Structure 1
Amino acid sequence: MTSRSVARVQPAHRDDISDLTTRRPVPAPGLDQVDPFLFLNHHGPQTYQPGNNGLPFGPHPHRGFETVTFILEGNLAHHDTGGHESVIEAGGVQWMTAGSGLIHAEVSPPSFKRTGGPLEILQLWVNLPGRLKMNAPAYTGLQQADIPQVSVADGKGTLSLIAGGFGEVVGPIHPLTGVFMTTLRLASGGRMELPAPRDRSVLLYVVSGRLAVAGVVVDQWNLVTMNPDGDKISIGASTDTVLLFGHADPIGEPVVAHGPFVMNTSEEIGEAIRDYQAGKFNGTGPLVGVGA
């Protein structure tokens, strides 16, 4: 196996949403996407005071892609017009296929608004090829206990396997496009090699800490893109580090995005807007609150 080399280190730019600390490494100037990974927001880390307003992501529509939300600290209440409701706690993940269209909300449950506390969340958008963009919407919410924890780096690391296979372990999510997705915690001094087939796009974002990626030092809040010149990635942590790591087959199709819709043509965007306005995303009915 040959190690991949680093193509680019892309810092996340600050783009707060209301009182929510937000950093975004992609899209960014000169980096529209890491096909099929369209968008990544890093919210927090921050601490909310008691009596707060919580997350600002009230009901909004989506069509044509998947959203993946990683709850690193705090919790998150999800509800959508497909009839799915959950409250995901720290360490959990939710994977939603917007597909043909639905309306969802990702907000703080009433208990978090009352008491406050630490909050840190990642949200990733994963594109779908044209043939799958109008699939039926779907949702899976996982608590930390539902996600296999794999010991790596000679015991100095833990890989949370969300989707795909790692050795003999298989993640609980089975994405439509075969995406491999993990979060990874490495203690200082931890070293390992990550699988990264050369024909697949790599998503590697340093949530916190500092590590060397193929010999290049990368600090927190930076995304790393890799050259397709190998089939593994060598990493070594110089501090305690948290990573988001995944890989997927590039789609290689036109991307036309308009707010919460991602399609292949502007005509399909127009159709999405008309369908939303006509109530075709309403599914089983109006959203209701969840959580205590």
Structure 2
Amino acid sequence: MEGLLTWRAIPVGDISAVDPFIFLNHHGPQVFPPDNNGLPFGPHPHRGFETVTFIIDGDVMHTDSSGGKSIITSGGVQWMTAGSGLIHAEVSSEDFMKNGGKEEVLQLWVNLPAKHKMAPPAYYGFQKHEMPSYISPDGKVSGSIISGSLGGIRGAVQTFHDVNLSLLSFNENGEFSAAVPPAMNILLYIVSGRVAVNGAEAVTRNLVSFGNEGDEVKITALEKSEVIFGFAPPLNEPVVSYGPFVMNTEDEIREAMRDYQSGKMGVWEE
């Protein structure tokens, strides 16, 4: 959309990545009028990583060259394994373009281990009600478990690299805690609201930094809030990226460009 508001959460400042979480964009929130042009992410290729798209408000229509297609609405998630390569588009539904409305979307890139970078492409679209859910004993914290596990509940997606990822919603004074094993990298991003994380305040669009000491993460909501919480073991592998491709060497990047240009990542059909 023209004027789409975007905040870059990863990389930011001196944080180049939270391995294997290598990129995070936060679009919106904003309200678009009727007869708008929709999201601007037309056909483009990817190879070597996975995308996780959080639809906080509005909708996203995903289409890709491997056959994946769905319209996911508020509270849902799209998980795409680019793997060996595909072409996809992320646009708005005809209904949203006609009627307008509130739109807020985040996209996270999760790097793939070198041995899985050429895995077959795959796509999974989940409406909110289709994902396993978490709820705290007092009902003040709830969430969708996207991958890995939370509170003994398995997530919707089984990953290549023990990636645990959830979207958590807090009522004011809601509390959540989780023990994260040593050597795991923690991703904690405040989508909206104001929380205390291990006693330190964090607000909307803040990425919270952690060490690798094996932290207990304790989150207390100071107001109604929503956060992305995840953790995974770092890959500790070379990262070479160029636009939509994330590989381990420059030769692999050049190969990705050749494969895309020669049609090996699929052919886009309108």
User: What is the rounded CA distance, in whole Å, between the counterparts of 2:223 and 2:244 in structure 1?
Assistant: 37
Question: Aligned pairs, how many?
Answer: 270
- Aligned with 2:230 (options 246, 262, 266): 246
Match of 2:210?
A: 226
User: What is the rounded CA distance, in whole Å, between the counterparts of 1:203 and 1:70 in structure 2?
Assistant: 15
- Cα distance, 1:199 vs. partner? 1.6
Give the fraction of aligned pairs with identical amino acids, expressed as a percent. Answer: 50
Match of 1:204?
A: 188
**Is 1:67 equivalent to 2:51 in the alignment?**
yes
Q: Which amino acid aligns with 2:108?
A: L
Secondary structure of 2:22's match? strand
Secondary structure of 1:226's match? coil
Contact conserved, 1:79 with 1:287, CA < 8 A, in 2?
no
- Aligned with 1:114 (options 91, 98, 121): 98
Match of 2:174?
A: 190
Match of 1:5?
A: none
Match of 1:161?
A: 145
**Is 1:266 equivalent to 2:250 in the alignment?**
yes
- Cα distance, 1:195 vs. partner? 3.3
User: What is the rounded CA distance, in whole Å, between the counterparts of 2:236 and 2:81 in structure 1?
Assistant: 20
Secondary structure of 1:274's match? helix
Q: Which moved more, 1:48-57 or 1:170-179?
A: 170-179
Q: How does 1:267-286 map to 2 (within 5 A)?
A: 267-282=251-266, 285-286=267-268
What is the alpha-carbon root mean square deviation over aligned residues? Answer: 1.2
Contact conserved, 1:150 with 1:161, CA < 8 A, in 2?
yes
**Is 1:151 equivalent to 2:151 in the alignment?**
no
User: What is the rounded CA distance, in whole Å, between the counterparts of 2:187 and 2:137 in structure 1?
Assistant: 20
Contact conserved, 1:152 with 1:158, CA < 8 A, in 2?
yes
User: What is the rounded CA distance, in whole Å, between the counterparts of 1:287 and 1:140 in structure 2?
Assistant: 20
TM-score by length of structure 2 reads 0.97
1:89-123 superposed Cα distances (whole Å, 9 cap, x missing partner): 11110100000000000000111100000111110
Match of 2:3?
A: 19
1:23-55 superposed Cα distances (whole Å, 9 cap, x missing partner): 111112311100000000001000110000110
- Cα distance, 1:149 vs. partner? 2.0
1:130-187 superposed Cα distances (whole Å, 9 cap, x missing partner): 1110111011111111112211262211021111122332111111112101000111
User: What is the rounded CA distance, in whole Å, between the counterparts of 1:271 and 1:265 in structure 2?
Assistant: 10
Runs of 5+ consecutive residues of structure 1 not aligned to the other structure? 1-16
Match of 2:239?
A: 255
- Aligned with 1:88 (options 64, 72, 90): 72
User: What is the rounded CA distance, in whole Å, between the counterparts of 1:33 and 1:230 in structure 2?
Assistant: 19
User: What is the rounded CA distance, in whole Å, between the counterparts of 1:264 and 1:287 in structure 2?
Assistant: 30
User: What is the rounded CA distance, in whole Å, between the counterparts of 2:27 and 2:179 in structure 1?
Assistant: 27
**Is 1:54 equivalent to 2:35 in the alignment?**
no
Structure with higher RCO (Cα < 8 A, 6+ apart): 1
Q: Which amino acid aligns with 1:151?
A: I
Q: Which amino acid aligns with 1:28?
A: V
Q: Which amino acid aligns with 2:239?
A: V
**Is 1:134 equivalent to 2:121 in the alignment?**
no
Match of 1:11?
A: none
User: What is the rounded CA distance, in whole Å, between the counterparts of 2:7 and 2:154 in structure 1?
Assistant: 31
TM-score by length of structure 1 reads 0.90
Q: Which amino acid aligns with 1:77?
A: M
Contact conserved, 1:80 with 1:287, CA < 8 A, in 2?
no
Match of 2:269?
A: 287
User: What is the rounded CA distance, in whole Å, between the counterparts of 1:243 and 1:28 in structure 2?
Assistant: 18
